[in-house]
Structure 1
Amino acid sequence: MGRPRTPLLDRARITTTALELVDEQGEFSVPQIARRLGVQTGSVYHHVDGRDGIVELMRERICEAIDSATLDAGPWDAAVSAWAHSYRAAFAAHPRVIPLLMTSPVRAPKVLEQYERAVGLLLTAGFAVADVMPLITGLENLVLGSALDLAAPETMWELREETPTPQLARALAAVGAGRADAAFDAALEGLIGHGRTLLARTTP
């Protein structure tokens, strides 16, 4: 009997299954992946570097959806804005994986390459090297927090008659639908504005 044309197990299938589990339950385990794929747990470990390796594979898979070409989109501020929107959209598709990724060091080569381009963009624009990582880390915190916000209820404030909050009610009514998008745009504008201030300090 010849070998099956499609491998029963590979890194791509393991990654897809891990993401499915996290999307469903917010967590995964290697035995769960094995059961869903109909293989032995040891067979999964043969293809990946343990649980941490699977987390990195999920990070890499999600980051493949980020349009890195946005980093070439004109001036640094326009490029950062476009990258942030693409970054947010990619992670908004899998919000429950974010807590796993935020507590694990970034090791995936393709992801590191994208950060390398982002750092290069800011340095080329004239930013002081000491200002670059705080800006990128701030952007990452903003993007990932906003991706989680997109998965939350449209209104996170439950108003009750026994606790009168007329000003809060007025503000909530004014923003209407799209609160998460408006909040993201406001915060991103603030971050980019801070970047412009930093850049002005370094420009002769």
Structure 2
Amino acid sequence: MVNLSTFNSIANHIIAELRDVQVQKDSQRFRKNMEKLGGILAYEASKNLSYQPTEIQTPLGKSPSAIIDTKIVIATILRAGVPLYQGVLNYFDKADSAFVGAFRNEDGDAEHLTVSTHYTAGPSIKDKILIIADPMIATGKSLLSAYQAICKGNSPKELLILSAIASQPGIDFLEKHLSNFSLYVGAVDPQLNQHAYIVPGLGDAGDLAFGEKI
């Protein structure tokens, strides 16, 4: 796991603004901060991808270079994941995309909470790198449901999960139910409250980015 909060960088400043209740009043700034963080997480994830050596012709000569040698699919969960997804797409701009509509039963606690997926659109992930951009990993159940909906029984070549903030219980859940993945996260928070929201977290990322839902 790569946890950006374990070392000093501009990511810490961005995460602080994402959490700040005063800054959160500006939804445009919240979206841009989430997009910026998506770019930083994408850059960190890019360090561990496989590359194909190549040679590039410049106006003045030839330059040894390296390019990503595997196709990428970037997936997110509507609607909260869109700004983080856009930040990742800015870096992996030739990637295909997948989208999942999901909702969770708000009546249960963290242990008994259930998640339903009602919409999925995306290409095959077979033999590709699948990047799931999910701003908040609370219980981990929404992400697992989205992953299963996207894969449709197939497995990607690699699974990378990029998140602004994850709870430790959510990480533990994913490690229990996903056999092999790499996690890149802005910060890890210790717990969930009785409604399965991350504490201290930042609130509802979808509402903060796009307005309160009814």
TM-score (norm 1): 0.25
- Considering only CA atoms, is the larger Rg found in Structure 1 or Structure 2? 1
Larger relative strand fraction: 2
Higher relative contact order by CA 8 Å / sep ≥ 6: 1 or 2?
Answer: 2
Higher share of residues assigned helix: 1
